[in-house]
Structure 1
Amino acid sequence: MLSREEAMEFDRHKVIPSWHKEFIEERSFDPTYWPSMATLNYRSSERRSVDQRATARFQRENEALRSAARTVDSPFTAEILKAPNPRKFSIPVFILFDGTTDPIDHVYHIELKMALKTENYSLMCKCFPTSLAGPTLNWLKNLPRGSVDSFRSLCDRFISQYYGNKRPEKDISSLFTMKQHEDERLQGFLTRFNLTKNMVIECHPSTAVQAFILAMTHGIPFHTSLVVNTPKTMDELNERADGFVRLEEEKAANARKTSIISTEEKTKAKIRQKQVQPQRQTSWISEKRPREEKLVTPLKVTLARLYQENKDKFRSPSPIRQPLEQRDQSKHCAFHSDFGHQTNECRT
């Protein structure tokens, strides 16, 4: 227990009110268990600062969550998003659309892929973003929230956005302008012709057959067969072409086999020829043939005079490779325009 003087000294430092002093004096309590007003004010200010920091942190986190929610806002309606997914469903692998191909072909591709799995159009809407890549994803993300209520409306928006990439339709004139290349096989030309024909709208079968006969190389067996007995449809023409394609492939295979056999025979003949030829005797004692000296017409003028009279006809020579300190500085070459030798001594 504290004495009265010690309690009054403690009161002076702790700033305890008078009623508190009397209470301590009467009851003789230990004043160390009683906080002062300064301590209470400090704690309350500290608590307020903690509350302010917590409130600011909550506001920042709330704003971050709101911004994140804005970035993941779906353009689909709540009915599409809440539609249940079938059991054991796996998303098909789509050809990615990057904004450079035909949008109608892409929609048709998705419908065919999803038809193998399900006919749920809400699920088709959910799977549609997985077939987009690059800037097309930004297009889907920028659609208004809840603006897509069906798969048909999504396809209409998609096609109208990338309608400029639509493949142009071809008319019947594109078939009559086709020609079989000189080295093009029948199978390759038939495939190319059928691909072009499939892009032509309302093409009569007999018209397509006539265009194919005109485009073929004249004089080959298949062309003669078509002229003698003209088919009525392209299906009949393709069936008849099957036998000629096999015959052409067999001829090509025989030609490749013949070329391989001839190449092997040539290689064997070279090997036999090397074995028959006697080996060259290499002896250091054998006498060397004397070199035949070339006849050179002697010049009647000096090289310096020759260069002065015809210097416009000479090209600039490459610089002298020998270092300058190793050359004779008293000799100058007009052709090299450098020191080291005289013009009459220049070998270049």
Structure 2
Amino acid sequence: MISSVPGVVQPIPEASPTSHRTSIFSPAIVDTEVPKRFQTHSMKLYDGTTDPEEHITQYRERMEIIPIPGHLKEACLCKGFGSTLIGSTLKWILNVPRYSITSFAHLVNIFNNQFSCSRTFKKITSDLYRVVQDPKERLRDFVNRFGRQALSIPNINTANGVDAFKMGLRKDSPFYEDLVMTPCKRLDEVRWRALRFIRLEEDKELHKINNLSNQHENPNKKAESSTPRCYKSKPYSKSDHHWVNALKDEGEKDKLPKITVYCFSVDISGIIHAMQDLGDKSRWPKRDNKSASWKEKSKWCAYHEDFSHMTEGCIVVRKEISYHLSKGYLKEILGRKRKKTKENSQDGHKIPEKLGSPPLTLR
């Protein structure tokens, strides 16, 4: 009655009492008794979207590990194949004409023919030239990806495979340079040689990660710069001894400010006296005992106690003054007159001795 009403979905037809006797296999296969402990191994069910040949191969390999007598093997292969299908593929095998399949080879042929559109075409060696290393891809990942593609190619040409691997590497890769200088003949040799460069690449990545972690732990730590800094930010390296030689670097002379810029309340002799009061905090040059006949006698430096340049223009004096000011010294002679009284001597400060004068020369 319900089936006669228009627009109503037809109900599921009732099963025939003799439906268990019908089969898609021939009577010879149907009448073969399957062993009691026969059971197909679990595997991915085929839904018709992947390569049918790959599914058949996987099914054969799993059935090989099951101990089946030889005269029962074909019947077991046929009867167990339906349990590996799902969805539309299972509906297909149920609609195969009754008693039409006579052997497992016949089943495989009609199965491959039915799902041939899902077949994966076989690759050839020239397809490996399409496998190229990405700019940010690690060497380990590229070697594994290339290896998977090479395994999918039957009867691969070894020479072309090695050349395709070399051409797929980044041209700035050290492994590419190594393969150019010392070519390989086999893909196995390529993989063995790649291990050295993989370790090198991963070691560099590890050092990079460690450096980044150190920067996060010490965010206030400034990275050292290779660019030269001005004299105000340069660290003043004090040597083991307290004697320095005169500098003749014109570049440093331009960077250091002149003494008149500081607006000292005393002249250059007073500045030298203040530096002498600092004791070991000041550094003094060594005396030049060589002949001074070639030096210009009109220029005398009280700091070096030698001819050839004036005290006001001495680079070492300017550098020493800049250093002392950065350390907080010599500020007592900035902007006001220095008191040279007896009170200073009573406080423990010695009255400075008279600066050295140019030696008299007899004509």
Map 1:103-252 onto structure 2 (within 5 A).
103-118=52-67, 120-252=73-205
Aligned length: 206
Q: Structure 1: where are the runs of 5+ without partners?
A: 1-62, 270-348
The partner residue of 2:50 within 84, 98, 101 is 101
Residue 265 of structure 1 corresponds to 218
Q: Report the Cα offset of residue 180 of structure 1.
A: 1.2
Q: Report the Cα offset of residue 113 of structure 1.
A: 1.1
Larger of the two Rg values belongs to structure:
1
Q: Report the Cα offset of residue 255 of structure 1.
A: 2.6
Q: Which has the higher contact order (CA 8 A, sep 6+)?
A: 2
What CA deviation, in whole Å up to 9, does each residue of 1:140-165 have, x standing for no partner? 00111111122111111100100111
Cα distance in 1 between the residues matched to 2:185 and 2:123: 22
Amino acid at match of 1:112: E
Cα distance in 2 between the residues matched to 1:259 and 1:89: 59
The partner residue of 2:39 within 68, 86, 90 is 90
Amino acid at match of 1:77: S
Moved over 4 A (4+): none
Amino acid at match of 1:238: R
Q: Report the Cα offset of residue 221 of structure 1.
A: 1.9
Q: Report the Cα offset of residue 138 of structure 1.
A: 0.9
Q: Report the Cα offset of residue 202 of structure 1.
A: 3.7
Map 1:250-289 onto structure 2 (within 5 A).
250-266=203-219
Q: Taking structure 1 as reference, are residues 231 and 129 closer, same or farther at Cα in structure 2, changes over 3 Å only?
A: same
Q: Secondary structure at the match of 2:41?
A: coil
Percent of paired sites with the same residue = 30
Q: Report the Cα offset of residue 71 of structure 1.
A: 8.0
Q: Taking structure 1 as reference, are residues 142 and 215 closer, same or farther at Cα in structure 2, changes over 3 Å only?
A: same
Q: Taking structure 1 as reference, are residues 85 and 71 closer, same or farther at Cα in structure 2, changes over 3 Å only?
A: closer
Amino acid at match of 2:48: G
Q: Secondary structure at the match of 2:109?
A: helix
Q: Secondary structure at the match of 1:237?
A: helix
Cα distance in 1 between the residues matched to 2:38 and 2:213: 54
Q: Taking structure 1 as reference, are residues 126 and 219 closer, same or farther at Cα in structure 2, changes over 3 Å only?
A: same
Amino acid at match of 2:213: I
Q: Taking structure 1 as reference, are residues 225 and 148 closer, same or farther at Cα in structure 2, changes over 3 Å only?
A: same
Q: Report the Cα offset of residue 183 of structure 1.
A: 0.3
Q: Report the Cα offset of residue 170 of structure 1.
A: 2.6
Q: Taking structure 1 as reference, are residues 180 and 73 closer, same or farther at Cα in structure 2, changes over 3 Å only?
A: same
Amino acid at match of 2:78: C
Residue 304 of structure 1 corresponds to none
Q: Report the Cα offset of residue 232 of structure 1.
A: 0.7
Cα distance in 2 between the residues matched to 1:266 and 1:84: 77
| 1:80 equivalent in alignment to 2:29 | yes
Q: Report the Cα offset of residue 64 of structure 1.
A: 5.1
Q: Secondary structure at the match of 2:28?
A: helix
Amino acid at match of 1:117: I
Amino acid at match of 1:173: S
What CA deviation, in whole Å up to 9, does each residue of 1:72-127 have, x standing for no partner? 83212233233333454432011111111100111011011111214522212122
Q: Structure 2: where are the runs of 5+ without partners?
A: 1-12, 223-363
CA contact (8 A) 2:41 2:63 kept: yes
CA contact (8 A) 2:47 2:86 kept: yes
Q: Report the Cα offset of residue 260 of structure 1.
A: 2.9
Higher helix share: 1
CA contact (8 A) 2:158 2:186 kept: yes
CA contact (8 A) 2:125 2:157 kept: no
Query: What is the RMSD computed on CA atoms of the aligned residues?
Result: 2.6
Amino acid at match of 2:80: C
CA contact (8 A) 2:47 2:87 kept: yes
Q: Secondary structure at the match of 1:230?
A: coil
Q: Taking structure 1 as reference, are residues 266 and 130 closer, same or farther at Cα in structure 2, changes over 3 Å only?
A: farther
Q: Secondary structure at the match of 1:266?
A: coil
Q: Taking structure 1 as reference, are residues 90 and 71 closer, same or farther at Cα in structure 2, changes over 3 Å only?
A: closer
Q: Report the Cα offset of residue 268 of structure 1.
A: 11
